[in-house]
Structure 1
């Protein structure tokens, strides 16, 4: 965390708090819109357990569309926790500092570029990311 001053940390914290508030508003508004538009309509059409299952599935599909916002919210919350714990800007795998330019581009980064590359390669089962034909 040596690259980051107290001022830097405060700026990141303010950025995260603002983004968290924005995401909460987006998710809240989308869920209200969903409830009004689709859920209320589907709920009115449910007459048996089969219809109920289909309605729940359709609602689940709609909620899956919100997954990106929910994942970003989790990343923002985790970054705020790292600021509080004093570990923001440190790679969770090797403990080295995360490059400032990486944090500026991707503020919720949990890993340095080297460890992130290794992590992504491991997640693909060791395969190269280059598409094969």
Structure 2
């Protein structure tokens, strides 16, 4: 695990939690009109998602929530903050800004060059 102070770990845990709650709220807002749907109507709803729901956005938000869940797990197991590609520290400041970051800046830059289609959505 990257060498974080106890105070930094507290800040990172708070940043992870804050981002997770923010994403939950965004998804709830996007799906706000689903509150009145009964369980029996849910399958029909899923098959006919209204046009005003940005499914790509919700999908990205859910994927980021999964990344945050993994980051929280790694943090609790003291395996948090190391780049998944090179093993170096991701960096405290980077993690505060983007709590689910899994790569250091150098490796993320290389990843985006190698897989440009994954970092920029297209129609």
Moved more, 87-96 or 60-69: 60-69
Moved more, 114-123 or 58-67: 58-67
Does the aligned pair in 1 maintain the 2:91–2:104 contact within 8 Å?
A: yes
- SS of residue in 1 equivalent to 2:53: helix
Partner of 2:12: 12
**Bigger relative contact order (CA 8 A; separation at least 6):** 2
- The Cα shift of 1:10 comes to 1.7
Partner of 1:118: 110
Partner of 1:75: 67
Within a 5 Å distance, the mapping from 1:37-116 to structure 2 comes to: 56-59=47-50, 62=53, 64=55, 65-116=57-108
- The Cα shift of 1:104 comes to 2.8
TM-score of the aligned structures, taking structure 1 as reference length: 0.64
- d(CA) in 1 for partners of 2:6, 2:81: 12
- d(CA) in 2 for partners of 1:75, 1:60: 27
**Deviation digits for residues 40-85 of structure 1 (CA, Å, limit 9, x no counterpart):** 8xx7xxxxxxxx69x7243488361422321231222121122022
- The Cα shift of 1:112 comes to 0.7
Aligned residues: 112
Aligned-residue RMSD, C-alpha: 3.2
Partner of 1:46: none
Q: Of the two, which has the highest radius of gyration? A: 1
TM-score of the aligned structures, taking structure 2 as reference length: 0.68
- The Cα shift of 1:12 comes to 1.1
- SS of residue in 2 equivalent to 1:66: helix
